[in-house]
Structure 1
Amino acid sequence: MKVVGSLILSMMLLAVIGSAITLVWARQESRVLFVQWNKLQNERDALNVEYGRLELQQATDAEPRVINQEARGRLGMVDPRPQDIQLVHL
């Protein structure tokens, strides 16, 4: 009878230790995933800020004044002289 009792007690002790180890592992995994989740949220926020900045830059660059300045400054384009303009009648 003592042997059976000791065996049951040993099995219960192993079950408790196994359960405790599983609990510690699950909590550690939860912490790791929470840290990763926070990093991903911060990255998402930074990307949203960058996207907003790029949208603003695109809207600014699409203004006719900016396009005219770029065409004249960087590309060296000028308005044609009146004698260089030809009308085409269809």
Structure 2
Amino acid sequence: MSEDYEKMRRQLKQMLARRNKVEKELEAIEDKIYIEETAYLQDAVAGNISKGFENYTKSNQNRRRPVLTDEDRIFSQSSTLLQDP
């Protein structure tokens, strides 16, 4: 019985270590998504996938960097880390 217990205990330790590693990898991926999404939204002054491209055909004179809101972030808002358990 003690052998089984020790075996299960080792397996549990391995699984917990793997889970921690995967969680860190997921967090790094989601950070990268957030950074790339921010760059896209800031660079797409004429329009973007979440706001549309209506300003694309308008004059370049009045284009300013857009103010980013949480509603604009369709990719990073889908994060599994941001969702409540």
The aligned residue for residue 85 of structure 1 is: none
Task: Report the TM-score, using the length of structure 2 for normalisation.
Answer: 0.55
Following superposition, which runs of at least 4 residues in structure 1 exceed 6 angstroms of deviation?
Answer: none
* Structure 2 runs not aligned, ≥5 long: 48-54, 62-85
5 Å-filtered alignment, 1:1-90, equals 1-45=1-45, 47=46, 51-53=58-60
- Number of residue pairs the alignment of both structures matches: 53
Counterpart code for 1:14: Q
Compute the RMSD of aligned alpha carbons: 2.1
Letter of the 1:53 counterpart: N
C-alpha deviation, 1:8, in angstroms: 0.2
State the identity %.
2
1 or 2 for the larger relative contact order (CA 8 Å, sep ≥6)?
A: 2
Structure 1's unaligned 5+ residue stretches are 55-90
Q: CA deviation at 1:53?
A: 1.7
Largest Rg, 1 or 2: 1
- 1:43-70 residue CA offsets vs partner (Å, 9 max, x unmatched): 112x45885327xxxxxxxxxxxxxxxx
